[in-house]
Amino acid sequence: MAASAIKIVPEVMSSRVESQTAPQAAASVLGLSKRFGKTAVLENISFNVAEGEALVLLGASGSGKTTILRIIAGLEQPYTGKVILHGKDVTELPARERGVGVIFQSYALFPKMTVEKNIGYGLRIRGRSRKEIKKTVQELLSLVQLEPHRKKYPSQLSGGQQQRVAIARTLAYKPEVLLFDEPFGALDAQTRVHLRREIRSLLKKVNVPAIFITHDQEEALELGDRIAVINTGHIEQIGTPSEIYNRPATEYVATFLGSANILEGTVRKDSIDIGGRLVCANVDRERFADGQAVKLAFRPEDVLLSDSDTVAKGAVCLAQGVVEDVSFAGASERLAIRLDFNPISNDPDSDFYLTTQPPESPSPKPIIATRGQREARALSLKPRDRVWISLANFTVLPVSDRGPV
């Protein structure tokens, strides 16, 4: 599958355009659960990955994402559920018969083999002809842009080049699906950014479904066609990077993927009562009842600041506030603002906070706003200045039954 996709890119691209309306699942997990002893680590995990799609499983350490990957690879057996690859149930098959390629953080290259011999190793042990091996290795060297390095040994390569060798070696035997286990963890920050873009471009060429696991939010946003946010063995939300970031389904998703301000409130008809102030909201009446406790989530970049109560078109006025801190952050400015409702709360630890971590132990803080330098120059602010705060975008979230975990 992979070799033909490498040679016939136009046909691959054409088929992908045609399938955009109804993509077929190339890999599926259905109702996976897993227990170690009496401890449940996965509960009812289900998702599909289309041909040529990259799905990122994003979650904190211990969330269960590595266990999902090991079950798909055949290195663990599920307690319940199935693994389907291209329509075939492979749940009971051993790892070697699944046609799954796994790329680990450590690369696992053979140190005494050259680049081309590392790439062709899987074909040699499968008894392929020397002509086929030579042809496939040449195609893959060109694909991963390592032709000038074909005679080098792993010790003579950079971390990013070693990663590309590992990917080419895996593609050589035409895997049904590619699994990436924290593939960039051993690389420096600059190399990670560069290699992420290279691998995303490479995956579009070979048209093989890929599943990544990571705890790095930036990595997930850049690599994934879709992201599944995993929390303690559950999928909190699955969707495109834009959907996950701009329309989080839960507080955990909002605070794990990027920074988010969270305000507690109560539904009052078509508004949310926050600190005695009614904030107009398009409340989903099927999800939220009048009087129900909810949370308002919004990104720092969605906070609009002004010196009057004039609200920009499409925005919603929130409250007044007092600037507590202003930080220069290069292209942007970061402000900490204490909300000042009427009546004013004298509690310095009111429930307004921002966190860049999962919501295990949020500490009370002012809300955070970020704005570009153009906006900062148009309205210069310093600590103790009063401002009007409005929101360009926000999401109304339920209070989780499971609570922060």
Residue 221 belongs to domain with CATH number:
3.40.50.300
Q: Residues 35, 37, 40, 46: what is their CA dihedral angle, to the nearest 10 degrees?
A: 0
Tell me how far apart the alpha carbons of residues 284 and 135 are, in angstroms, rounded to a whole number. 58
pLDDT of 23? 57
Chosen domain end from 212, 246, 280: 246
Tell me how far apart the alpha carbons of residues 377 and 380 are, in angstroms, rounded to a whole number. 6
Residue that the structure tokens 């042809």 belong to: 135
> What is this structure's pTM?
0.80
Is 275 found in the same domain as 182? no
Is 269 found in the same domain as 371? yes
CA atoms within 13 A on the CB side of 60: 14
Count of the separate structural domains present in the chain: 2
Is 282 found in the same domain as 373? yes
Tens place of pLDDT for every residue, the chain, 405 residues? 434 333 323 333 333 333 344 457 899 999 999 999 888 999 999 999 999 999 999 999 899 999 999 999 999 999 999 999 999 999 999 998 898 988 887 778 889 999 999 998 888 888 888 899 889 999 889 888 899 999 999 999 988 888 889 888 888 888 889 999 887 776 777 777 878 888 888 888 888 899 999 988 988 998 999 999 999 999 999 999 999 999 999 999 999 988 999 999 999 988 999 988 889 898 888 889 999 999 999 999 999 999 988 888 889 999 999 999 999 988 999 999 999 875 444 344 444 444 444 444 333 468 999 999 999 999 999 999 999 999 999 999 998 755 443
pLDDT of 20? 44
In a domain, 312, yes or no: yes
pLDDT of 173? 81
Core vs surface per residue 290-301: b (16+ CB within 10 A) or e = eeeebbbbbbbb
Q: What is the sign of the dihedral through the CA atoms of 242, 248, 249 and 253?
A: positive
> Cβ distance 396 to 249 under 8 Å?
no
Is 204 found in the same domain as 280? no
Structure tokens at 382: 């310093």
pLDDT of 342? 59
The domain containing residue 86 runs over which residues? 2-99+175-246
In a domain, 184, yes or no: yes
In a domain, 125, yes or no: no
Strands of the sheet containing 80-85, edge to edge, are 39-50, 25-36, 80-85, 88-89
Is 286 found in the same domain as 383? yes
CATH of the domain at 376: 2.40.50.100
Q: What is the DSSP letter of 283?
A: -
